[in-house]
A and B are shown apart, each in its own frame.
Chain A
Amino acid sequence: MILSGAEIVVKTLIEQKIKTIFGYPGGTVIDIYDQLYKHSDEIEHVLAAHEQGASHAADGYARASGDIGVVLATSGPGATNLVTGIATAYLDSVPLLAITGNVGTSMIGKDSFQEIDITGVTLPITKHNFLVRNVEELADTIREAIKIAKSGRPGPVLVDIPKNVQQQLTEYIPAEPVVIEPIADVKDADVEEAVKMIEVANRPYIYFGGGAVRANAGKLIEELAEKMDGVMGASMMGLSEVPDSNPRYLGMQGMHGHYASSIAMAEADLIIAIGVRFSDRATGNTSKFSTEAKKIHVDVDISEFNKNINVDLSVAGNIRDFLDKVITKISKKDNKAWMIRVDTLKDQEKKQEDPNFLPMLAVRAASDITTPDTRCITDVGQHQMWAAQHYAFTEKRTWVSSGGLGTMGFGMGAAIGAAYGSGKRSVLFTGDGSFAMNMNELATAVTYNVPLTIVLMNNGVLGMVRQWQTLFYDKKYSNTVLQRKTDFVKYAEAMGATGFKAESIEEFKDVFEKAYALEGPALIDLRIDKDEMVLPMVPAGGTFDKIITERGDK
């Protein structure tokens, strides 16, 4: 059938089983919005308050569901407002399709109104991008973009569509949803080598991350840990892939990781790194990182091998295939001394815990009250680390947080997107700094009655930066004290949500239960002390023997 480019965009998205898109209208996407109106019974559009919020929503949708997220914006400022969202998705390898309108092809290059070279702008933060110059190529370009975004190591892809291309007519031939490129099995020789290394290891540690989530490898990772009598720890991106209830799982490692997890990794004689990239936040000083340990690195992206950390064996290909084969081939191991050592570390960690630490108690209380399928979303800062440390995950893809880019303001959009992507409730942990960056999206959450509970840890300061200033900048609190008069409870109510306030753990538990029971969005203004710190902490570029476990003033 002969259709306009704009209708082809919408029909292709429907054909590719895209159910929900997030976006914001504007001059160069009016034609596409006209078609969304026409096809509104086949595809849902969620109108954000700002394109950045829409981009984080699409990202949150993808993280919570495992499917691709789609965001639509107009040219110029609409497109540039997506940039932080696209970069966030890029750094965390999230499959995202960003569609932007642009001025007509004859106007490109003339500095026309709301014209920007968005393919140029997003070049280093997309897996690939396209400027569609001919309507004949439009449907296939969108299909290819989806395929690229989802295949191999996923990532964001942008398709820029000039207005005249949206208006031109051409034949539309429907197609089946694209099949993502299969990931090659691992080489037998690599499996043999890995098996040999595991057989001689006495202190094995599995370090897994976002790639393990993508591969849905949690169960196999647990099996491997069991059979080789080892332990597991996750990068922040790996959280929720293995349930916290598994005693072999020591939780997040790294700069603000669990004491036992980080120290066990430093003391291990074999690290099996699965779907990770040895981020500086995970390793500290790379030249002194677990120098005693042999390292196996399994990943789909070969450019990650020996990029940050040199390893003894790099295994390219399908993570599940690797785990399957290795589990079958290794013998049942007994590393009793190692497990005793790990138990000692766990005891030490327990002893370091301050039983009255409000942020921890609040996260644990929320974690206890919520259903296991609730999505736990965070912004960026201290609250993020507290949530990462103390929220008990049981189901996969329940953790949604900006890791690589560390995007403050990510949370509100992502929480909305996560609720759509999972069909479940969202709990957002945020701070007064992060929340204020994109709190306009509370309007969106109210409009769509998103099942969202916001836990706003309000300390009146930019806590994470303040913590660094306390520890490394002689307590000179440059611009981290927020002398604002914002009343978040009133704000929530002004936006049409429900607002609560809590100043103690008892109050928090009480209002959290109320807030969580509400159908739509609610916000809890939880007052915490401005001098609370995220501990333990390995200073940037530091080593794990220099781990800070308690506040100097306590």
Chain B
Amino acid sequence: MDKKKYVIAVYVENKYGVLTRVTSMFTRRSFNIDTLAVGETEHPEYSRITISMRGDEADKVQIVNQLKKLYNVKKVEVIEDEIGIRRELLLLKVKNNSETRSDVKDCIEAFRAKIVDYSAESLCIEMTGDTSKLNAFIENMRPFGIIEMCRTGIVAIERGPDSILTK
């Protein structure tokens, strides 16, 4: 079966060790996490873990069912492509010199990224977007000399007025 990328949002109780419980289940069941992001939610007692993973339909079902069995997990939802908004944040440091500066700036403009730090030798760029946009931007930056970069992993939310916690 074809491997697809899935984004799964998990509401978990805001308790000691819960992230380990979730990630250790992936390891134990031999599934790979591509990206993982954790943060606060609209409810102080819950955190939201957003996991992106690659797998086939059966993998997805198995992961969702295994997640639902974890005691501290309150809600599991696969954020489907058609109704999901997916974003990642990228911070990237690239070499700065007079020969390439204008090309770098053109690229930043084209991708609607922004410069957040400037020094004689480097530019620090912030950009948000979906994974493919970030990947494309990084490829464009490569020839200019990437010094350092980091990205947050995907966070995702569904369109429309509902919360996945109550649906």
Contact = CB atoms under 8 A, between A and B. Distances in A.
Interface string B11-27: 00000110011001100
A123 B20 contact: yes
Nearest to A127: B71
B67 to A, nearest CB: 9
A302 B65 contact: yes
B58 interface: yes
Contact of A124 (B17, B28, B58, B61): B28
A123 B21 contact: yes
A219 interface: no
Nearest to A307: B62
A306 B24 contact: no
Nearest to A125: B28
B20 A306 contact: no
Nearest to A316: B65
B160 to A, nearest CB: 27
B135 interface: no
Name, among B28, B58, B69, the residue most crowded by chain A CB atoms within 10 Å (CB to CB). B69
Contacts of A148: 71
Contacts of B100: none
A157 to B, nearest CB: 9
A427 B80 CA distance: 56
Given A123-B21, A124-B24, A131-B16, A306 B71 contact: no
Nearest to B70: A128
Contacts, number: 30
Interface residues on A, range: 10 to 19
A120 interface: yes
A303 interface: yes
A321 interface: no
A133 B15 CA distance: 12
B61 A306 contact: yes
Contact of A301 (B20, B58, B69, B72): B69
A202 interface: no
Tell me if B's interface is mostly helix, strand, loop or mixed. Answer: helix
B66 interface: yes
A276 B62 CA distance: 17
A306 B16 contact: no
B74 to A, nearest CB: 14
A260 B143 CA distance: 69
A302 B71 CA distance: 15
A129 to B, nearest CB: 9
A119 interface: yes
A300 to B, nearest CB: 11
Name, among A124, A133, A305, the residue most crowded by chain B CB atoms within 10 Å (CB to CB). A124
Nearest to A148: B71
A379 B156 CA distance: 50
B17 A119 contact: yes
A69 to B, nearest CB: 20
B17 A303 contact: no
A102 B17 CA distance: 17
A248 B63 CA distance: 38
Interface string A105-133: 00000000000000110011001100101
Contacts of B21: 123
Nearest to A302: B65
A127 B62 CA distance: 17
B16 to A, nearest CB: 7
Nearest to A306: B58
Contacts of B69: 301, 303
Interface string A289-317: 00000000000011101110000000000
Contacts of A303: 62, 65-66, 68-69
A180 to B, nearest CB: 14
B36 to A, nearest CB: 17
A77 B61 CA distance: 38
A304 to B, nearest CB: 8
Interface string A130-157: 0101000000000000001000000000
A131 B16 CA distance: 9
B24 A123 contact: yes
A518 to B, nearest CB: 45
Name, among B28, B66, B71, B72, the residue most crowded by chain A CB atoms within 10 Å (CB to CB). B71
Interface string A227-239: 0000000000000
Name, among B24, B28, B65, B66, the residue most crowded by chain A CB atoms within 10 Å (CB to CB). B65
Interface string B115-155: 00000000000000000000000000000000000000000
A425 to B, nearest CB: 37
Contacts of B71: 127-128, 148
A123 B70 CA distance: 11
Nearest to B72: A128
A198 B66 CA distance: 30
Interface in B74-102: none
B21 to A, nearest CB: 6
Nearest to A155: B69
Contacts of A131: 16-17
Contacts of A124: 24-25, 28
A148 B68 CA distance: 14
Nearest to B65: A303
Nearest to B64: A303
B20 A120 contact: yes
Contacts of A128: 70-72
Contacts of B58: 306
Interface of A: 119-120, 123-124, 127-128, 131, 133, 148, 301-303, 305-307
Given A119-B17, A128-B70, 7 more contacts: A123-B24, A124-B28, A127-B71, A131-B17, A303-B69, A306-B61, A307-B62
19 contacts: A119-B17, A120-B17, A120-B20, A123-B20, A123-B21, A123-B24, A124-B24, A124-B25, A124-B28, A131-B16, A148-B71, A301-B69, A302-B68, A303-B62, A303-B65, A303-B66, A305-B65, A306-B61, A306-B62
Interface of B: 16-17, 20-21, 24-25, 28, 58, 61-62, 65-66, 68-72
